[in-house]
Amino acid sequence: MLAEERNRRQKELEKEIYQLSERLLQADENRRVALELLDIYKGDFRHSYSDFFPIIIEISKDDTKYNLEYLSENMEAIRQYIEENYIQGKDEFNEIRAHIYKLCDHLNLEIGRWSYYSQYEQKINDSTLQAVSTTQALKKAEEELKEASEKAGSMQTELIAVLSIFAAIVITFSGGFSVFGNIMESIGSAQHYEMVVLVAIIGALALFDTIFMLMYLVSKIINRNIYARCMTKDCTCDTRKCGGIRRLRKRLPYVFYFNIFSIVGIIVDCVVWLMDIKGIL
């Protein structure tokens, strides 16, 4: 048989295999397919076994209309039909009976090889996915460990800074009272108006604002907010419309009103003192 004719019949056989994988044959269709195979195999045609595996791979794809189970069941039905024809003493398909047996065996071998290949490929894919997942988890754990280490180092620095500022607060508080006591002793003969002014300036404004400034530094270091919540609707504290004094009154009312009352007290005391000097009182 010429090579050109052999190639033509091989193409016809491949076309027949694709058709057999599209759907299950009806019982009355087995003879038609057997006759088509007889026309292909007559004249001592031998199929190319090496061409079957690419066909099986193509049929097994999910995005095609083919199905390997259809192919297996249809080939088995055709083989049984030819076998029954032989048992009944008919010699219509005797010429291709051995070829059909080999065709069924070769296709089943390739289907089995594809099944083993698919299982092996699936295991490789699963292992790859597991390796990727493990790598990602390890990378995430390393990032978390690095973040925790940086946070621990930062916390140590912040702790030292906070303790230092608290120590400064204690020293400021105790030192302020000590200075305040010494001043009170030195101005024992001063008038009560002068004493009120000194108490307001030294004790209230200087000491209170210094301690608050240190507390504000602590809040910045430990990333905590000491501002009061703005209770007004449509808060504009973060815009230019809200000036410094207004923002201070809304967000730090205790500091604002304490200083206002202290300043008002100093002004009232100075006015009364001046009136006393002028002899108005």
The 10 Å CB-count burial string (b at 16+, else e) for 119-157 is eeeeeeeeeeeeeeeeeeeeeeeeeeeeeeeeeeeeeee
- Per-residue pLDDT, averaged over 231-238, amounts to 55
The pLDDT of residue 214 is: 72
On the question of pLDDT at 203 being above 70, the answer is no
The pLDDT of residue 212 is: 77
Give the whole-angstrom CA distance, residue 221 versus residue 201. 29
- Per-residue pLDDT, averaged over 193-219, amounts to 70
Give the mean pLDDT of the chain. Answer: 78
pTM of the model: 0.47
The pLDDT of residue 228 is: 62
pLDDT class of 270 with cuts at 50, 70, 90: confident
The pLDDT of residue 86 is: 84
pLDDT per residue as tens digits for the range 44-81: 788 888 888 888 888 888 888 888 888 889 899 999 98
213 neighbors 169 (Cβ within 8 angstroms): no
On the question of pLDDT at 181 being above 80, the answer is no
The terminus-to-terminus CA distance of the chain in angstroms comes to: 141
pLDDT per residue as tens digits for the range 155-164: 776 677 667 7
pLDDT class of 172 with cuts at 50, 70, 90: low
Most confident of 22-26, 149-153, 186-190: 22-26
Q: Which of 23-37, 111-125, 130-144, 174-188 has the lowest mean pLDDT?
A: 174-188
DSSP string, the chain: --HHHHHHHHHHHHHHHHHHTTSPPPGGGHHHHHHHHHHHHTTT----GGGHHHHHHHHH-TTSS--HHHHHHHHHHHHHHHHHHHHTT--TTHHHHHHHHHHHHHHHHHHHHHHHHHHHHHHHHHHHHHHHHHHHHHHHHHHHHHHHHHHHHHHHHHHHHHHHHHHHHHHHHHHHHHHHHHHHHHTTTS-HHHHHHHIIIIIIIIHHHHHHHHHHHHHHHTT---PPPP-SSS--TTSTTS-HHHHHHHH-HHHHHHHHHHHHHHHHHHHHHHHHHTT--
23 neighbors 70 (Cβ within 8 angstroms): yes
The pLDDT of residue 91 is: 78
On the question of pLDDT at 225 being above 60, the answer is yes
pLDDT class of 165 with cuts at 50, 70, 90: low
CA distance to 9, 12, 55, 59, per residue, from 50 (Å): 15, 16, 10, 16
On the question of pLDDT at 177 being above 70, the answer is no
Higher per-residue confidence, 13 vs 166? 13
